[in-house]
Chains A and B, each alone.
Chain A
Amino acid sequence: MEKYLEILNYTIYGAAILLLLIGLYGALTKKSLIKIVLGLSIMDSGVHLLMIAIGYLKNGTAPIFSPGHENEMSKMVDPVPQALVLTAIVIGFGVTAVALALVIRLYKHHNTLRIDEIKNLKW
């Protein structure tokens, strides 16, 4: 029984790696350009979950010194990965927006969205 509770502790790592692999499969296999950009966005979510899951402390609290809780410095979770993920979410949105603008221009030029029909760069 203890072993099952122990494995349940690692499910967050498994979920983050599974999201990463599902996004990567979608970006490698699908033929429509919008599906590929969707796969890249799902991969971003997986990486952010993995980074925050590393900084977690068992029975920890949020890193905020609110009035009345000012002496709990030894039980706080790690605030450095949270600062990095805050920047990464905003930049991921910016990259998705520019990629979709390029997809719209590509559709207006070639009138199709499948990547095996757009063959201008091959010989």
Chain B
Amino acid sequence: MIYLILTFILILLMIGAAIYAIWQKDLLYAVIASGIISLFLSILFVILQAPDVALTEAAIGVALTTIIFIIAIRNTVRYEDEHDKKVKKKEQLKSAEQ
């Protein structure tokens, strides 16, 4: 009985983190939400009686995938709509000149 309630709460938190990761425009927050998905997934693997897979998912999904994404964000843009903001600023400057 307690396992059913725990499973349900973990699944709700995992789906919430997934929707947040796709919806958010600040890419750093989206990457940390994807790390949270891997963490709750690893706990769900222990409830489904698979301890080897839980160890692998916790080590690779939380630590290494997050650090590779953060380094990719550091070398490129941080916000998803950075291009739109630059274009809007250029158009505002042009209309202010005229």
> Do A and B touch (CB < 8 Å)?
yes
Question: Is B93 an interface residue, CB under 8 A from the partner?
Answer: no
A62 at the interface (CB under 8 A from B): yes
CA A30 – CA B81 in complex, angstroms?
11
What's the nearest-Cβ distance from chain B to residue A104, in Å? 5
The answer to whether A73 has its CB under 8 Å from any CB of chain B is no
The answer to whether A104 and B75 touch across the interface, beta carbons within 8 angstroms, is yes
In the complex the two chains form, is B56's CB within 8 Å of A89's CB?
Answer: yes
**Which of under 10, 10 to 19, 20 to 34, or 35 or more describes the interface residues of B?**
35 or more
Interface of B is mostly: helix
Give the docked Cα–Cα distance between A49 and B4 (Å).
17
- Which chain B positions have C-beta within 8 A of A60? 49
Residues of B within 8 A of A34 (CB): 27, 69, 72-73, 76, 80
Question: In the complex, which of the residues B22, B48, B65 contacts A96, with contact meaning CB atoms closer than 8 Å?
Answer: B65
- A107 within 8 Å of B (CB atoms): yes
* Complex partner residue of B56 from A49, A61, A90, A96, CB under 8 angstroms: A90
A97–B69 alpha-carbon span in the complex (Å): 8
Q: Which residues of A contact B71 (CB under 8 A)?
A: 100
Name the CB-closest residue of B to A29.
B22
- Contact in complex: B22, A93 (CB < 8 Å): no
Are the C-beta atoms of A112 and B83 separated by less than 8 Å? yes
Asked if A25 CB lies within 8 Å of chain B CBs, one says yes
Given contacts A11-B11, A12-B44, 12 further A-B contacts (CB under 8 A): A5-B4, A8-B8, A15-B15, A22-B19, A32-B27, A34-B27, A34-B72, A38-B31, A52-B53, A77-B50, A96-B68, A113-B76
